Structure 1
């Protein structure tokens, strides 16, 4: 029997990593939320790249839905390449990086700190340059992640950021759902999505979502490119019908992410419509009439549903890499830590 890839091993470790975050990270989350709650925050920012930027997209939706405050993504190159400084006094910034070592993320964060923003480093490396450039650090406690593809660190970044927002909101129901995530993710790891594996001759595919689920759709598309060398594009289900739908042909692969939230039916309607066009569509909702339903774990809160869905997806993409004859632990041209300027 072939030895399991590091990626597969680390996917299996996600529930334990989240449990470790919930145990070891509580003091930091409580202290930071207490400090931030006393400030007059009017706007939130994020600084990140790659999977970490997808985590920030998820946190953007969560922050806007929970706190009623806008959150914007800041281009890291503003400081590192263009030498520009933003007037960010009184703002709250999430800087997310599993390594905390990328110079552009660090420089932008330092610039925002110097301008008077409250900057939070969400990282797996609390001794990193990013942590040193930030007002406070939120360690994600993921443990060593050896596969190039981020899985444990992506999920724990989502949970850490969402947990902080839930504490700021004093949302007891959401906090309870977060505390029960390890149990839900244990089940999510076992969900078999292999029927959604694209065939070897597929040249392109779509992933879809809306709201917080669009963030995990973005992550899914990246993982197809990164670990399977498949061209995948992520779209909001509201955008895919505006132009991208033109390339839909018979058996064109689509995976649609839908949580049990206000956008679920809208995502399902698009999934069913694409299926009627001949596409091979899979969706994480039992409400579908035409699209194929994927097994999914519903959590105790609609904001945590996308976290369970991406954990199940990771098992699929690791499986597809194997079908393609690719080692997902060592994607070509990629390193674990990418230090962009």
Structure 2
């Protein structure tokens, strides 16, 4: 007899696996480890690139945005986010000597990312892939590959592969101090009932806004995507700085705002955004280590995004189920989306 899974069961199970994935990554990060991290990092150090380009799609694009902040802030190198169409649809072949191109992909199977990496390699770039599939075309084409070791991800909405990408990128670019993360992650995920109660507040929401600054901005982007693809909420993500311009006109009491606000420079810079939202009497819930609503443990600012996204993953699943949906079977979506 075939057992029918309850709505969101796959997403729930994979969300819960994340601390275990992080422990595995940390254990395999050294020389000779299964991730290939140490070898990739050493190759990057030897080549000493002067510029970094990141290429990704979907959820992985938010991991790449995180890496952009990380490299610019911690290493002081200029970083760009690639438009794959430049290399595919428009067929351009730029000179990429002294450039590091990092391709981030859960599956490693996107044709446009593969073509972009091939063109970059031919143009003189050092290429590194960060995927959850060491046998993928992207992994075998790059000069070095980092396996995020997330294990099979069956749910359509990416959860564990996303935070595994964040940690892999952090370690690739010299991050440290992540040993406490798995235990902190377990503690946050144990608060599932708290997020289930919050989800009831958004059962009938038609539009939502997510926002953050600095390292928290990729979290806002990923949170909006999770709400859109699982609960079919029209969620728009804005940098706090951008929100203070034209998009602020969208804010009204009927449009809930989810604000990511954590300790550190990004959180401090976000304070005027909260003031502006209060002036507009917005329905705001804050999430993060400097939040007043869903308060998270404080950690080093570059590591905070791994913890910040966990409540949003829980929230999105509960909102989807409360609205009568199944986040494991969203309308018109499948696990691997190929774009050309």
Do the two structures share a fold, i.e. TM-score over 0.5?
Answer: yes
Q: Tell me whether 1:128 sits opposite 2:136 in the alignment.
A: yes
310 and 259 in structure 1: CA distance in 2 versus 1, 3 angstrom threshold: same
Q: Tell me whether 1:193 sits opposite 2:195 in the alignment.
A: yes
In the TM superposition, what whole-angstrom CA distance separates every residue of 1:194-236 from its partner, at most 9, and x where no partner exists?
A: 4543433322110001111101110011111100100001111
Alpha-carbon distance, 1:85 to partner? 1.3
Q: Distance in 2 between matches of 1:104 and 1:93?
A: 14
Conserved in 2, the CA contact under 8 Å of 1:227 and 1:331?
yes
Partner of residue 293, structure 2? 293
* Bigger Cα displacement from structure 2, 116-125 vs 273-282: 273-282
Alignment of 1:1-341 (within 5 A): 3=6, 5-27=9-31, 28-166=36-174, 174-176=175-177, 178-191=178-191, 192-197=194-199, 198-285=201-288, 293-299=293-299, 301-341=300-340
Q: Distance in 2 between matches of 1:43 and 1:22?
A: 27
SS of equivalent to 1:238? helix
SS of equivalent to 2:295? coil
Give the TM-score, by structure 2 length: 0.92
Q: How many residues align?
A: 329
Alpha-carbon distance, 1:286 to partner? 6.6
SS of equivalent to 1:211? coil
Alpha-carbon distance, 1:79 to partner? 2.2
* Bigger Cα displacement from structure 2, 115-124 vs 187-196: 187-196
Partner of residue 170, structure 1? none
Alpha-carbon distance, 1:247 to partner? 2.0
Q: Distance in 1 between matches of 2:255 and 2:47?
A: 50
Q: Distance in 1 between matches of 2:73 and 2:58?
A: 23
SS of equivalent to 1:187? helix
Q: Distance in 1 between matches of 2:330 and 2:143?
A: 34
Q: Where does structure 1 differ by over 4 angstroms across 4 or more consecutive aligned residues?
A: 285-288
In the TM superposition, what whole-angstrom CA distance separates every residue of 1:22-48 from its partner, at most 9, and x where no partner exists?
A: 223433222222221122311000110
SS of equivalent to 1:100? coil
195 and 253 in structure 1: CA distance in 2 versus 1, 3 angstrom threshold: farther
Conserved in 2, the CA contact under 8 Å of 1:258 and 1:306?
no
Alpha-carbon distance, 1:324 to partner? 1.0
Conserved in 2, the CA contact under 8 Å of 1:188 and 1:309?
no
**CA RMSD across the alignment:** 1.8
Give the TM-score, by structure 1 length: 0.92
In the TM superposition, what whole-angstrom CA distance separates every residue of 1:289-316 from its partner, at most 9, and x where no partner exists?
A: xxx52121222x1111121010121111
